[in-house]
Amino acid sequence: MTARGRHRLLPYLLLLPGVAWLLLFFAVPLLQLAAASLYDPGGSLSTGYAMTWAFGNYPDALRAYWPQFARSFMYAGAALALALLMGYPLAYAIARKAGRWKNLLLVAVVAPMFTSFLVRTLAWKTILSDNGWLVGLLRDVHLLGPDGRLLATPVSVVLGLTYNFLPFLVLPLYASLERLDPRLLEAAGDLYASPAQTFRRVTLPLSRPGLVAGTLLFFIPATGDYINAELLGTPNEYMIGNVIDSAFLVRLDYPQGAALSFLLMAAILAAVFGYLRRADPSQGVL
């Protein structure tokens, strides 16, 4: 083979391990899942499932579980809003104001990720406990009624989601804010922009790549999450992930579980594409 030919193939060779991995462990299972979503819903574990191209599984699944779908997006959206309110100032402070504390603060953001997701969520059960200090405080200031509670309400599920996925939002934001050239901010000041104007016209647009990446990294796993709803919520807070979990593990309704998984994927993809079209990270204003 000529040197030229080798060079032509090089990019494909470099891609090979990644592509093989993706095919074997992502594409093939995904396809099997797609096939399972079209199996005869009348099949069962013992008799097996026949492939009947039962596209009706999709509308059936959606009819049965659309409230959990809507809830997933609502909770993930609310958690995202909260996370943005907290995460943006946090990332900004770490990137631009923390000075020598910067690394320590970054570690503080990431450190909780060293413990298991489950343990962190269970810790919230203690924090939000009916007899805990937080609920006691809220009752004392009459933000909660005497029998009010946080655990087993939508509030606790949204708080749990916010907490668990916050680092995914903060880290990309931090990266783009940290790269921001301070001379641009000085120039804005020199041109008589107020701090608010500087933020709106310079900082915010320049942090958009991080903002978009962080938002996606937060929103996608938060929508599919079911641990927070399971541990901090009640059946009335169950999200679509809980339904899929029970379809596969408890009810053994594989066609429905597979159809729900695909519906979730499609809904998230649609939301992401819609968002990216509106907020192309490479250009334009928000």
Partner 1 sequence: MRTPLRPLTRRGLLRGALGSAALLATAGATAGCGTEGAQQTEAGCVSEDLSGAERKLTFSNWPQYLDVDESDASKRPSLDGFVASTGIQVTYTEDINDNNEFFGKVQNQLAACQGIGRDVIVLTDWMSARMIRLGWIQKLDPARIPNVAANLLPSLLDRSFDPQNRISIPWQSGLAGLAYHGGVTREIRTVDELLTRPDLKGRVTALAEMRDTIGLLLQSNGHDPANFTPAQFDDALAKLKRAVDSGQIRRFTGNDYAPELAKGDIAACLGWSGDIIQLAAENEKIRFVAPDSGVILYSDNMMVPNKATHRANAEALIDYYYQPAVAAKVAAYVNYICPVRGAQAEMEKIDPKLAANPLIFPDDALLARSKVFMTLDEKQEKEYEGKFQQVIGA
Q: Say whether 171 sits in a helix, a strand or coil.
A: helix
- The least distance separating partner 1 from the CB of residue 210, rounded to whole angstroms, comes to 26
In the complex, least distance from residue 193 CB atom to partner 1, rounded to whole angstroms = 40
User: By CB under 8 A, is residue 249 in contact with partner 1?
Assistant: yes
Q: Taking CB under 8 A as the rule, does residue 178 contact partner 1?
A: no
Burial (CB < 10 A; 0-12, 13-18, 19+), residue 80, is: buried
Q: Mapping DSSP to helix (H, G, I), strand (E, B) and coil, where does residue 51 land?
A: strand
Tell me the closest approach of the beta carbon of residue 282 to partner 1, in angstroms.
18
Binding mask 57-96 for partner 1 (x = CB under 8 A): -------x---x----------------------------
Q: Which is nearer to partner 1, 29 or 89 (CB)?
A: 29
Q: Taking the complex as a whole, how short is the minimal distance between the CB of residue 229 and partner 1, in angstroms?
A: 9
Residues 54/56/57/58 CA torsion (nearest 10 deg) = 130
Binds partner 1 (CB under 8 A): choice among 96, 125, 139, 201: 125
Q: Based on the shown chain and the rule CB under 8 A, indicate whether residue 10 belongs to the binding site for partner 1.
A: yes
Asked if residue 136 binds partner 1 (CB under 8 A), the reply is no
Of the candidate residues 102, 139, 149, 200, the single one contacting partner 1 (CB under 8 A): 149
Count CB neighbours of 5 within 10 A.
9
Q: Tell whether residue 175 is a contact of partner 1 (CB under 8 A).
A: no
b/e for 165-198, b at 16 or more Cβ within 10 A?
bbbbbbbbbbbbbbebeeeebeebeeeebeeeeb
Residues binding partner 1: what is the number (CB under 8 A)?
A: 52
- When binding is defined by CB under 8 A, the residue of 234, 267, 272, 279 that contacts partner 1 is 234
**Does residue 2 touch partner 1 according to CB under 8 A?**
no
Interaction of residue 233 with partner 1, rule CB under 8 A:
yes
Closer by beta carbon to partner 1, 173 or else 264: 264
Spatial separation of the C-alpha atoms in residues 246 and 262, rounded to whole Å: 16
Q: Which helix (H) or strand (E) holds 106?
A: helix 102-110
Backbone angles phi, psi at 51, to 5 degrees: -80, 110
- DSSP, collapsed to helix, strand or coil, labels residue 176 as helix
Give whole-number Cα distances, 166 to 108, 179, 211, 264, in Å: 12, 20, 12, 22
Residues of this chain that bind partner 1 (CB under 8 A): 7-8, 10-12, 19, 23, 27-28, 31-32, 34-36, 39-40, 43-51, 64, 68, 125, 129-131, 147, 149, 151-152, 231, 233-238, 242-243, 245-246, 248-253
